Amino acid sequence: MSNAPRLTFERLTLNRLLLAAVPLAGLALAGCATLPTGTGVAVQPPPPASIPLQDANASNYGLFLAGEAALRGGRPEEAARYFARAAQGASDQNAVDQALIREKAFEAAVMAGDIDKAADLLPAPDATPASMPQRLARLVRAVDYFASGHNKEANEALIAPGGGAAFAAGLTLIRPWVAAAAGDADRAVAMPDGPTPRLRRLAAQEGQAALLERAKRYDEAETVLKALATNPQLGVLYIDSYGGFLERRSRTKDAVELYTSALKRMPNNRDIKISLARATAGKRPPQMLNLKQGAAKSLTAAAELALVDKQINEGEVYLRLALKLDPTRDDAWVLLGDIRASSDQHQFARDAYAHVNTASPAWPEARQRIVASYQAEGDNDTALKLTQDLIKTQPDNREALITEADLLRATNRYAEAVTVLDKVIASGASNADWALYFERGTSLDRAGHWPEAEKDLLKALTMRPDEPDVLNYLGYSWVVRGEKLQQAMGMLQKAYLAQPDSGEIADSLGWAYYSQGDFKTAVLRLERAVSLSPVSAEITDHLGDAYWRIGRKTEAQYQWSRVLTLSPTAELKSSVQQKLASGLMGGPPAKGTAS
């Protein structure tokens, strides 16, 4: 059975850390909506609760549980409304209940991005209860002060003692910017004391360099930036920062050399391409960030670190605080959308992506994520329209064209997909990877052009000899055509060894045995295929055929009957109905019999 690739959300999800091609753990956002152990935020597992917000008879306790469930389910906006209702009904005599509801309402407000509301819920600094997440309280208080211009109060909140180990990255990275705003020059350019995780230290050094430049300590700033940009593993993250510094110092030639050298290693890095084009054209260099913008950038960096460590809610908190300080921070909006999309909150994700400015280099990426969110909901028509609208504004956008081809394939418009892929491959033949040839080959096959399809599939196989998808598709195609059966069998066995848990590949291998008349082995493989893909109509049909060939006719009829419950194509439905009426006629000879 063929296993053509499909556009996925993960394929589009990129950020600064992953673009560096460093072997970091994936973000692994999906299914991780609760605050992790050790964050200092106490969240008790509630029973599943769903109470209409307009229900005037809902109990205070029920509203509290509903808020807990919403918060744990990654729906902070909903949680905030439940907790607000619960707070209205809290007993004046029960101070413990009031404090707990207040703390939960605080957490929900932060997660929902309502920092003003969260700050209103904070008690006085000297009255913060032990149960309140200490570091989060300090961080929110500091950001609220800083956003409203109370810089000294913000600085005092950040240097005050507080318990717990959570939110350490955010506190570490924002402190220097707030200190600079408060006039604390020494603290503004100081590095963190004590042992600091490597990625956090690098982010702190980038902030230190920016603050040294603001203080006109240019030599010191360049020393730090040069060390960052030449880091053997992570240097690409800091090329733009160092290059922008050089451009501001009127050292455009040095900046162009830096960008050009980096692009030789990372030819598809969008940001460096933009920087090189700007510097080469002699345009105005990027401006230094103001203090609030710098603090927002530092919190966005803290969010990236949290996401790499799978601290999803901590990452979202940082992003919300960053956007409080700088609502135009495009990378923060994109990451916030990614978090929401990963928990299937697609409308919330689209709302976040929509904040990205149309003039921003990140805008096409945000649009593609909106497209992916519609596809994740099964709305391929809307996804395709939005993609084609994007291509009208950016006809040479390679990723958008690939997305269009994927969506055309998903809607069975294979000939149109081939036309798009022709353009993509022709525009960058030296940069075309195996997947493009594979996708065009499968599209050509589905469009009825097998000779051309076979050429592309062989090309993909040459480029990626061990790729299970290519081995499976080409091997299965030869089997169903009765061509090169021995070679096809070897390819399918290789694919199966690489991915033994793929129902599609197990089915392809089982059907290869069936086509050669080895029905007993075919049954074994096809039974496994059905166990791996129990809702596949085609695989179930294959197992029914194999059962029939070894004389297990009752079981065959049972499997064929199951096919009719699995949304088969019209062609397969007709075939199965005929087999249920009169059994299998003809077919390959059993192994060991005369053909």
pLDDT tens digit sequence for 326-342 = 999 999 999 999 999 99
Structure tokens at 78: 């909903």
Tell me the mean pLDDT in the region 312-316.
Answer: 90
Tell me the mean pLDDT in the region 411-418.
Answer: 96
Reported confidence tier of residue 293, pLDDT bands at 50, 70, 90: very high
Distance CA 465, CA 129 (A): 62
Task: Note whether 475 and 513 are within 8 A (CB).
Answer: no
Distance of alpha carbon 412 from the chain centroid: 26
Tell me the mean pLDDT in the region 2-21.
Answer: 35
pLDDT at 578 over 60: yes
Give me the pLDDT at residue 531, please. 97
Give me the pLDDT at residue 95, please. 52
pLDDT at 295 over 90: yes
- Of 106, 25, 6, residue with least CA distance to 310: 25
Burial class (CB in 10 A: 0-12, 13-18, 19+), 430: exposed
Q: Which residues contact 379 (CB under 8 A, 6 or more apart)?
A: none
Kindly report, residue by residue over 519-548, the tens digit of the pLDDT: 999 999 999 999 999 999 999 999 999 999
Give me the pLDDT at residue 273, please. 93
Please state, for a pLDDT cut of 70, what percent of the chain lies above it.
Answer: 84
Count CB atoms within 10 A of the CB of residue 358: 9
Q: Is the dihedral of CA 567, 572, 577, 579 positive or negative?
A: negative
Give me the pLDDT at residue 452, please. 98
Q: Which residues contact 435 (CB under 8 A, 6 or more apart)?
A: 5, 460
Give me the pLDDT at residue 135, please. 79
> End of a domain among 270, 288, 306?
288
Tell me the mean pLDDT in the region 564-569.
Answer: 95
> End of a domain among 244, 273, 288?
288
Count CB atoms within 10 A of the CB of residue 570: 7
330 within a domain of the structure (yes/no): no
Give me the pLDDT at residue 536, please. 97
Reported confidence tier of residue 113, pLDDT bands at 50, 70, 90: confident
Region class of 47: left (phi > 0), else alpha (psi between -120 and 50), else beta: beta
pLDDT at 13 over 70: no
Task: Note whether 537 and 563 are within 8 A (CB).
Answer: yes
436 within a domain of the structure (yes/no): no
Distance CA 282, CA 377 (A): 45
Distance CA 474, CA 460 (A): 10
pLDDT at 39 over 90: no
Task: Note whether 591 and 514 are within 8 A (CB).
Answer: no
Give me the pLDDT at residue 17, please. 39
112 within a domain of the structure (yes/no): no
Q: Which range, of 122-136, 248-262, 480-494, averages the lowest pLDDT?
A: 122-136
578 within a domain of the structure (yes/no): yes
pLDDT at 33 over 50: no
Count CB atoms within 10 A of the CB of residue 334: 25
Q: Name which residue leads in pLDDT, 569 or 594.
A: 569
Q: Which residues contact 298 (CB under 8 A, 6 or more apart)?
A: 170, 173, 174, 176, 177, 203, 207
Reported confidence tier of residue 127, pLDDT bands at 50, 70, 90: low
Q: Name which residue leads in pLDDT, 159 or 498.
A: 498
Distance CA 505, CA 479 (A): 13
pLDDT at 179 over 90: yes
Reported confidence tier of residue 100, pLDDT bands at 50, 70, 90: confident
| DSSP state for residue 238 in the 8-state scheme | G
Reported confidence tier of residue 62, pLDDT bands at 50, 70, 90: confident
pTM score of the predicted model: 0.76
Tell me the mean pLDDT in the region 511-524.
Answer: 96
Reported confidence tier of residue 478, pLDDT bands at 50, 70, 90: very high
Please state, for a pLDDT cut of 90, what percent of the chain lies above it.
Answer: 66
CATH code (residue 207)? 1.25.40.10
Reported confidence tier of residue 278, pLDDT bands at 50, 70, 90: very high
Distance CA 369, CA 349 (A): 9
Give me the pLDDT at residue 403, please. 93
Q: Which residue, chain included where needed, has tokens 């807990």?
A: 68
Q: Which range, of 270-274, 385-389, 582-586, averages the lowest pLDDT?
A: 582-586
Task: List b or e across 53-73, with b for residues whose CB sees 16 or more CB atoms inside 10 angstroms.
Answer: eeeeebebebbbbbbbbbbbb
Q: Name which residue leads in pLDDT, 592 or 522.
A: 522
| DSSP state for residue 590 in the 8-state scheme | P
pLDDT at 253 over 70: yes
pLDDT at 229 over 60: yes
Give me the pLDDT at residue 21, please. 33
Distance CA 148, CA 128 (A): 22
- Of 427, 491, 414, 423, residue with least CA distance to 460: 491
Tell me the mean pLDDT in the region 197-211.
Answer: 95
255 within a domain of the structure (yes/no): yes
Reported confidence tier of residue 431, pLDDT bands at 50, 70, 90: low
Distance CA 145, CA 522 (A): 70
Distance CA 440, CA 443 (A): 5
Tell me the mean pLDDT in the region 404-421.
Answer: 95
Q: Which range, of 45-49, 89-93, 419-423, averages the lowest pLDDT?
A: 45-49
Expressed as residue numbers, the domain containing 475 is: 466-595
pLDDT at 15 over 50: no
Structure tokens at 461: 């196989």
269 within a domain of the structure (yes/no): yes
> End of a domain among 235, 265, 288?
288
- In whole numbers, what is the pLDDT of the chain averaged over residues? 85
Give me the pLDDT at residue 38, please. 32
Reported confidence tier of residue 162, pLDDT bands at 50, 70, 90: low
pLDDT at 400 over 80: yes
Tell me the mean pLDDT in the region 509-519.
Answer: 96
pLDDT at 404 over 50: yes
CB < 8 Å & 24+ apart, contacts of 551-559: 553/583, 556/584, 559/530
Give me the pLDDT at residue 435, please. 94
Report the residue count for the chain: 595
Tell me the mean pLDDT in the region 51-63.
Answer: 60
C-alpha distances (whole Å) from 497 to each of 220, 268, 570 are: 55, 33, 33
Phi, psi for 577 (deg, rounded to 5): -60, -35
Domain count, the chain: 2
Give me the pLDDT at residue 165, please. 66
